[in-house]
Structure 1
Amino acid sequence: MQVFVGTCGFPKARRVIFNTLDAAELQETFYNLPDPERMSALRREAPDFHFTAKVFQGITHPPGSPTFKRTRGFRPTERHGLLKPTRENMELWEQFTAAVAPLRPEVLVIQTPPSLKPEPYIYDFFTAVAGKWKLAWEPRGETYNDPKLIGKVAELGVIIAVDPLRKDPPPGEIYYFRLHGLGRGEVNYRYKYTASDLARLASLVRGLEGEFAYVMFNNVYMYQDAAEFKTLLSQLAPLSHDVDG
């Protein structure tokens, strides 16, 4: 099992992230459609780095989401967002994936808002887009509490992204973890992970069977927590299934 430790965004200068961590999940691709030239430049800047990218909110979020205040050059309609398998969303998906392709992201992260209900059409959306890209879906709120829908989407090869300190990850060959802090609610961005938290996380990750695990911190202290967690992993003796033979 290879473990890639990183952050959601760049809380430090890019060169610091590239030199000290394994991975970064681009957040700018959520707020605005990617600029292909910038995506290509980032890949040239870090040719061997593990990039992932968060899918544009025009596909995932409702038109009234306050996050659109940061969006330039795109005005959502009622036929956009919330993973609706509409022509408008499908065209936007093609536009997004073509624009982000020069980055060669290893995973496209689809984060849906708590307002999304577990509608049957969500499965139709994933059926339409699964296959070409490795996808990780982080459902929130009521949607996550529909195990039948989650299971059907996972059967398409979509990774179900969770915080393993809050929810048990579905088994698979690839895991994608997004850590938003502990405490009340689904997110607590101001939370600082303790040594005990990181030790528990290491135990959980090392107990997985699979090929890869992305451990992505997404809190105020994300860089410090990621760096400490990576150091902790490096200090632990390898498990028997980590070694060939």
Structure 2
Amino acid sequence: MARNVKIGCCGFPRSKQEYYTRFSLVEIQSTFYHLPKPETAQKWREAAPQDFEFTLKAWQGITHLTKSPTYRKIIHKIPPEVRSHYGHFRNTEQVFDAWFRTKEIAEQLRASLILFQCPPDFQETEQAVADLHSFFSRIPKTSLRMAIEFRSPWREETIRALCRDYGLIHCVDPFKERALCGEVIYYRLHGKPPGRTMYRYTYTDDDLQRLVAWIDESKPTYILFNNTNMWRDALRFMDLLNGGKHAN
């Protein structure tokens, strides 16, 4: 495999034990919907191989407003009187509590990176930019890498300034845009074309060859598949990097 390239899936498409036999990296998705107990995260860590790498998606209480349909999966309901205090990196007690709880799970997993996925309704406004600066300037320094994925148009200069000021990694789907900054490359492959059915897409051999060409071996590169065929596509891509043509 190309040096400095790590391949995995967003979530476990098969049992954890089978997954561990094929991959050495996973992005935990379930933490976005609800955070497990710290002792549960510790058990996940202990059950994985010693050199297995976890990244995780930050809890939606940091990034998403409670009107988001993603809150339907939440286990512990949020009281009505504080629902307006969550999401969009707001300067509230609830958002910072969500951060510290996310960080605690990351520490139990010995995760290398936390991903903040912004919702489509988090548009670039003066208030949104101010809230991002406030959030990232207030959270304590940590050895954890932090990546941010925008899902609405933001200006390049704004993204570069945030990355520069807080050491953030600009996470992108390389089939849609290019990463602007960060000490590592963090790609999440959602399928294509954009729309309701994009996650059902199966990457073609030509797609995977293009992905190989985009790898910058001067930086560690994480490639996480997030389509419905993620298991097969990730194995195919791994096989391609290893010089083969097909994955078993």
Q: TM-score, normalised by structure 1?
A: 0.89
Q: Distance in 1 between matches of 2:196 and 2:151?
A: 8
Counterpart for residue 31 of structure 2: 29
Whole-angstrom distance in 2 between the partners of 1:59 and 1:172: 21
Deviation per CA, 1:45-64, whole angstroms, max 9, x where unpaired? 11221111110011110111
> Within 5 A, what are the aligned runs for 1:24-173?
24-46=26-48, 47-75=50-78, 77-118=83-124, 119-120=128-129, 121-129=131-139, 131-132=141-142, 133-142=144-153, 145-155=154-164, 156-173=166-183
Residue identity matched to 2:98: L
Q: Distance in 1 between matches of 2:205 and 2:193?
A: 16
Aligned length: 232
Within the candidate set 222, 226, 243, 1:235 is matched to 243
CA deviation map 1:18-57 (0-9, x unaligned): 1111211111111102211111111111122111111001
Q: Which amino acid aligns with 1:224?
A: R
Shift of 1:231: 0.8
Q: CA deviation at 1:125?
A: 1.4
For the aligned residues, what is the CA RMSD?
1.8
Verify: 1:209 aligned to 2:211, yes or no: no
Counterpart contact for 1:7–1:24, Cα < 8 Å:
yes
- Kindly indicate whether the alpha-carbon contact (under 8 Å) linking 1:161 and 1:176 is maintained by their aligned counterparts in 2: yes
> Could you tell me the percent identity over the aligned residues?
33
CA distance in 2 between counterparts of 1:114 and 1:186 reads 14
Q: Which shows bigger deviation, 75-84 or 220-229?
A: 75-84
Give ranges in structure 2 of 5+ residues lacking alignment.
none
TM-score, length-normalised on structure 2? 0.88
1:192-213 deviation digits (Å, cap 9, x = unpaired): 00000001101111x3421x11
Taking the aligned partners of 1:151 and 1:187, their CA distance within structure 2 comes to: 31
